[in-house]
């Protein structure tokens, strides 16, 4: 993939139209997908986020990304029988 064609691996939005795009090992996730995964994993946080307009720190964003990535891997294993090698 060329540097100018980097997209979110989940929703395929181009990096030019995302606020943040976080890189993993061969994958990318945008801020909106992180928010979506976070709201699925922690529905109680949705109300907190609606009340709080501050941006997460890089560490918080990475932690959310990591949780979402682990949830995605678990979902693949459970529903598709795909064996994903963890680092």
Q: Is residue 10 a contact residue for Zn ion (CB under 5 A)?
A: yes
Report which of 45, 59, 5 is spatially closest to residue 28, judged by C-alpha positions.
5
**Contacting residue, 5, 22, 24, 30, with Zn ion by CB under 5 A:** 30
For residue 17, give every residue at least 6 positions away whose Cβ sits within 8 Å of its Cβ, in sequence order, or none.
Answer: none
Q: Is residue 33 a contact residue for Zn ion (CB under 5 A)?
A: yes
Q: Is residue 22 a contact residue for Zn ion (CB under 5 A)?
A: no
Q: Is residue 68 a contact residue for Zn ion (CB under 5 A)?
A: no
Sign of the Cα torsion 58, 25, 15, 52 reads negative
Minimum Å gap between C-beta 54 and Zn ion is 21
């Amino acid at each position: 993939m060329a540097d100018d064609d980097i997209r979110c691996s989940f929703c395929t939005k181009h990096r030019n139209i995302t606020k943040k795009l976080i890189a993993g090992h061969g994958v990318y996730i945008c801020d909106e997908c992180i928010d979506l995964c976070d709201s699925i994993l922690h529905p109680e946080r949705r109300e907190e986020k609606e009340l709080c307009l501050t941006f997460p720190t890089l560490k918080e964003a990475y932690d959310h990304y990591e949780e979402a990535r682990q949830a995605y891997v678990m979902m693949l294993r459970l529903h598709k029988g795909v064996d994903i090698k963890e680092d």
